[in-house]
């Protein structure tokens, strides 16, 4: 049993780990340290409501009183520079240190930088933190022409919001479809079509050659095809990199993320890693993954707290994710990795449909557009291990699932 736990990172994972440690009965010293200056907040609204609301207010993860009440020594605006493993302490830039005998790395991820001249011009932004969102809000006010580099979730969410607010928005995506790394092709096609209908110009299979500016301020983006697109504001959303430097310098096993076992332990047993920064083996597919979602951050934090309080459990949470792009609610449950058969419920023409992915004949994942009931059912089916036959997709799966549950309960 450990007496002094330090958590690095005040995002979704770090804050949940602190709360869960107390819920699990941990009574020792508990510090939560992060380099963000703001009271920990929800990140998803930063690319959604925060940009739309006339008076945006950050949504805090926990009220300020929580930290004091739970005996959590919250240290904001503090960057950890190094882990002194033999000394079991964290070192800060000013030379001060913080002792631990259990350490949780919840260091998250950061926007992948655009390796191009012009990427540092004024008006070229990325979006990760509340501070970034405040800048984006200010700059979008007088930006008529906007270019979004990268057709991922964050880029498309912002593109839809800005287009709805009357800006001319162009999305430049290097792959042949938007959301190419994260959803199946029919969903990409639907999202692209819908965004185009709402006035967003989408260029796929096109790169960015350079970003042009005048007097240090962005003016235009030139594509690899030589097209010049005027831009007062450029949002770069080309993915995220795990913050692994701290762990790597301390000799922990790193591979696009901090490698952890099923109990969230890194290659050094007294150090755990969770959330966007952690890479783990997903039970269902066998694939090693690093997931960037609130669900994963929250559930791994809960499991880490169990591990640190003496339990030996395996991370089995069903991954799920959502994104709101214009009038589309995208929801994913499970992982499509290795999917070998897909069946559709609903119709894209109705603007409501779901794709059910099967792997070796068993349900692996469900991706939905504006069909929240399918998503909720999918999460329950995946969690309980029920798989409908692919041919049954489109029938009453809920009734089928309930019959299966009843039969299982009776046996
Ligand atoms: P983070 O939230 O990134 O927190 C890590 C913290 O650690 C950061 O504050 C970082 O600065 C800090 N840190 C790193 N290194 C150090 C150090 N050396 N010293 C001190 N502090 C350090 N997910 C969804 O499921 N649905 C969504 O709709 C969705 N929308 C999103 C929209 C936006 C704009 C963003 C940015 C993310 C969104 N996500 C969404 C993803 C989700 O927010 C992340 O998966 C989640 O925040 C991960 O939590 P985390 O605690 O692992 O990392």
Please give the average per-residue pLDDT across 385-390, as a whole number.
96
187 lines ligand 1 (CB under 6 A): no
Return the pLDDT at 211.
Answer: 98
pTM for this one?
Answer: 0.97
199 CA to centre of ligand 1 in angstroms:
30
Measured from the Cα of 324, ligand 1's closest atom is 28
Ligand 1 pocket: which of 32, 35, 43 to mutate (most atoms within 8 A of CB): 43
125 lines ligand 1 (CB under 6 A): no
Token match 């929580």: residue? 66
14 lines ligand 1 (CB under 6 A): yes
11 CA to centre of ligand 1 in angstroms:
5
Measured from the Cα of 81, ligand 1's closest atom is 18
- For 28-37, the pLDDT digits (tens) are 999 999 999 9
Q: Which of 10-19, 45-54, 119-128, 229-238 has the lowest mean pLDDT?
A: 45-54
- For 69-89, the pLDDT digits (tens) are 999 999 999 999 999 999 999
Return the pLDDT at 279.
Answer: 98
Measured from the Cα of 45, ligand 1's closest atom is 32
Cβ-based burial of 22 (10 A; exposed 0-12, middle 13-18, buried ≥19): middle
- For 163-213, the pLDDT digits (tens) are 999 999 999 999 999 999 999 999 999 999 999 999 999 999 999 999 999
Mean pLDDT for the chain? Answer: 96
Instruction: Give the closest residue to 74 by CA, choosing from 3, 9, 4.
Output: 9
Give the number of other Cβ atoms within 10 Å of residue 381's Cβ: 24
Please give the average per-residue pLDDT across 231-236, as a whole number.
98
Return the pLDDT at 320.
Answer: 98
> Residue 124 in contact with residue 216, Cβ under 8 Å?
no
Token match 């692919």: residue? 390
Residue 240 above 90 pLDDT?
A: yes
12 CA to centre of ligand 1 in angstroms:
7
The pLDDT-based confidence of 54 (bands split at 50, 70, 90) is confident
48 lines ligand 1 (CB under 6 A): no
Return the pLDDT at 1.
Answer: 66
Helix, strand, coil content of the chain in percent (nearest 5):
30, 30, 40
Return the pLDDT at 377.
Answer: 98
Q: Compute the distance between CA of residue 143 and CA of residue 133 in angstroms, rounded to an integer.
A: 15
Torsion on CA atoms 345, 348, 351, 357, rounded to nearest 10: 40
8 lines ligand 1 (CB under 6 A): yes
Residue count (the chain):
411
Return the pLDDT at 235.
Answer: 98
Number of H helices, E strands in the chain: 10, 26
Going by alpha carbons, the residue nearest to atom 6 of ligand 1 is: 9
**Positions of E strands within 225-297:** 228-230, 233-236, 240-242, 258-259, 271-273, 278-281, 288-289
Residue 17 above 80 pLDDT?
A: yes
111 lines ligand 1 (CB under 6 A): no
Measured from the Cα of 275, ligand 1's closest atom is 52
91 CA to centre of ligand 1 in angstroms:
22
Return the pLDDT at 53.
Answer: 84
Residue 246 above 90 pLDDT?
A: yes
Going by alpha carbons, the residue nearest to atom 43 of ligand 1 is: 43
Higher local confidence (pLDDT), 409 or 154: 154
Q: Compute the distance between CA of residue 28 and CA of residue 130 in angstroms, rounded to an integer.
A: 31
Q: Compute the distance between CA of residue 162 and CA of residue 127 in angstroms, rounded to an integer.
A: 14
- For 277-315, the pLDDT digits (tens) are 999 999 888 889 999 999 999 999 999 999 999 999 999
Return the pLDDT at 175.
Answer: 97
Query: DSSP for 81-149?
Result: EEEETTTTEEEETTS-EEE-SEEEE---EEEPPP-STTTTSBTEE---SHHHHHHHHHHHTT-SEEEEE
Question: Which backbone phi and psi does 329 adopt, to 5 degrees?
Answer: -100, 110
Cβ-based burial of 143 (10 A; exposed 0-12, middle 13-18, buried ≥19): buried
339 CA to centre of ligand 1 in angstroms:
28
98 lines ligand 1 (CB under 6 A): no
Return the pLDDT at 397.
Answer: 97
Going by alpha carbons, the residue nearest to atom 53 of ligand 1 is: 108
388 CA to centre of ligand 1 in angstroms:
35
- For 113-149, the pLDDT digits (tens) are 999 989 999 999 999 999 999 999 999 998 999 999 9
Torsion on CA atoms 73, 74, 80, 84, rounded to nearest 10: 20
Give the number of other Cβ atoms within 10 Å of residue 236's Cβ: 23
Q: What is the DSSP letter of 317?
A: P
397 lines ligand 1 (CB under 6 A): no
Instruction: Give the closest residue to 291 by CA, choosing from 246, 336, 234, 357.
Output: 336
Token match 């795990």: residue? 242
> Residue 400 in contact with residue 369, Cβ under 8 Å?
no
Going by alpha carbons, the residue nearest to atom 23 of ligand 1 is: 293
293 lines ligand 1 (CB under 6 A): yes
């Amino acid at each position: 049993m450990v007496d002094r736990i330090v958590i690095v990172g005040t995002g979704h994972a770090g804050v949940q780990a602190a709360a869960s440690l107390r819920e699990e009965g941990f009574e020792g010293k508990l510090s939560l340290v992060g380099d963000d200056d703001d009271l920990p907040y929800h990140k998803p609204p930063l690319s959604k409501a925060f940009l739309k609301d006339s008076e945006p207010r950050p949504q805090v993860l926990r009220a300020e009183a929580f930290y004091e009440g739970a005996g959590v020594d919250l240290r904001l605006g503090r960057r950890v520079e190094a882990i002194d493993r033999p000394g079991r302490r964290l070192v800060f830039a000013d030379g001060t240190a913080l002792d631990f005998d259990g350490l949780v790395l919840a260091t998250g991820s950061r926007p992948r930088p655009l390796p191009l001249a012009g990427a540092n011009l004024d008006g070229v932004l990325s979006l990760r933190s509340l501070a970034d969102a405040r800048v984006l809000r200010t700059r979008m006010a007088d930006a008529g022409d906007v270019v979004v580099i990268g057709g991922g979730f964050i880029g498309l969410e912002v593109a839809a919001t800005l287009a709805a607010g009357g800006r001319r928005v162009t999305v430049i995506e290097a792959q042949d479809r938007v959301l190419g790394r994260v959803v199946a092709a029919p969903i990409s096609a639907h999202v692209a079509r819908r965004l185009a209908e709402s006035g967003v110009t989408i260029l796929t299979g096109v790169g960015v050659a350079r970003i042009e500016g005048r007097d240090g301020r962005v003016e235009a983006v030139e594509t690899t095809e030589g097209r010049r697109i005027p831009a007062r504001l450029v949002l770069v959303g080309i993915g995220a990199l795990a913050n692994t430097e701290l762990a790597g310098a301390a000799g922990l096993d790193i591979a696009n993320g901090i490698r952890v076992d099923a109990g969230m332990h890194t290659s050094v047993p007294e150090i755990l890693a969770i959330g966007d920064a952690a890479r783990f083996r997903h039970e269902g597919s066998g694939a090693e993954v690093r997931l960037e979602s609130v669900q994963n951050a929250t559930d791994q934090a809960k499991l880490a707290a169990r591990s640190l309080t003496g339990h030996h459990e395996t991370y089995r949470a069903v991954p799920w994710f959502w994104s709101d792009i214009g009038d589309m609610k995208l929801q994913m449950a499970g992982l499509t990795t290795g999917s070998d058969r897909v069946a559709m419920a609903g119709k894209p023409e109705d603007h409501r449909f779901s794709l059910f992915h099967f792997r070796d004949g068993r349900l692996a994942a469900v991706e939905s557009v504006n069909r929240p009931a399918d998503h909720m059912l999918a999460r329950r089916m995946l969690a309980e291990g029920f798989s409908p036959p692919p041919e049954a997709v489109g029938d009453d799966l809920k009734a089928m699932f309930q019959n299966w549950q009843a039969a299982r309960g009776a046996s």
